[in-house]
Amino acid sequence: MVKKVIIIFLIILIFQAFSVQFSYIRPKHEEGPFVEFTSLGYAFKNSEILTQPLLDILGIFNLNYRYYVNNNAIFSSQNYFIDPLFVSRVYMRESIESTPIFIFATRNYYFSNYIFDRSSIKSYFEIIFPGITDFSDYVFAIVPRGFINLGYFILDKIEIFGSLESGVVLNLITSSETKNSEWDNFIKELRQESIYSTFKFGFSWYYDNYSGIEVGYRLFLWGKDSPLRFIQGFTATDWIYNLLSYTLYTENGPEIFIPFITTDYYISFSTKF
């Protein structure tokens, strides 16, 4: 069971690398088909359906849905089916004798950004359902997390902010679970040990209509030893920090100092959705 839990956390970490959350909501595409960087999609009414074909080539099949609640709020569902041996089996023609394992992951979130004069309130809540299966056995996790961000524009394009983030492993669903007190105690302990909370503060400089630079500092308020500390944050810089932290933790490697990457001081160039 411990191995299954470790695998679940690794899945969430990998999943996060393909799911970067930004600070602003970009306008919806005009109705009809559209192309943006690595994505293809179709927009209709208040919705968009899109996929990233480049990931399909690697065996990371995906389909995403985005619904614009209004100009200040959005709901998104990102869904992935991952075949870890796809490249080996399809491109390298290797014979796979072991039972194939597949990864499912779905991420559903609600994000809002409201500006009142020079003040801003950003709220984010998501539920992640990562899991693995060989179609005879399976294990899935339910991981809710989110943040609330308060900001103030000291200049038209410069905002100072403070952000409180929290998350927890709410439950595990497995085909081999047993309905007894031992399983219930395991879930209870996992839930307690996985709770984490961080506080971030810093400033953002928006240098055009689509992007900007965010510089800040992260402080763990709770759960410094939580396994979910490896998925904290919502930007590309965060998941690079998380990947390096996880690698160093699992390999018991030496402490590495890379300014703004391996430290609690961070810099991010992703600020718009």
The SS3 of residue 4 is: helix
Kindly provide the b/e burial profile for residues 256-267, where b requires at least 16 CB atoms within 10 angstroms of the residue's own CB.
eeeeeebeeebe
Residue-level pLDDT at 7: 57
State the pLDDT at residue 179. 66
Alpha-carbon distances of 138 from 48, 86, 101, 113, rounded to whole Å: 31, 19, 10, 37
pLDDT reported for residue 87: 81
pLDDT per residue, tens digit, the chain (273 aa), is 555 555 555 566 555 555 544 456 777 888 999 998 778 999 999 999 999 898 888 888 999 999 999 888 999 999 999 888 888 887 877 777 777 888 888 989 999 988 888 998 999 999 988 888 888 888 888 999 999 999 999 988 899 999 999 999 998 888 876 667 777 888 888 888 889 999 999 998 887 755 778 899 999 999 888 888 888 887 777 877 887 777 777 666 667 777 777 788 888 876 654
pLDDT of residue 273: 44
Report pLDDT for 257.
74
Condensed to tens digits (0 to 9), the pLDDT of residues 9-39 reads 556 655 555 554 445 677 788 899 999 877 8
Tokens for 157, please give them.
């394009």
pLDDT in tens, 123-151: 999 998 888 888 888 888 899 999 999 99
Return the DSSP state at 91.
I
Category of 66 on φ-ψ map: left (φ > 0), alpha (ψ -120 to 50) or beta? beta
pLDDT at 266: 86
CA-wise closest residue to 228 among 179, 262, 194, 265: 194
Residues shown for the chain: 273
229 φ, ψ (degrees, to nearest 5): -65, -20
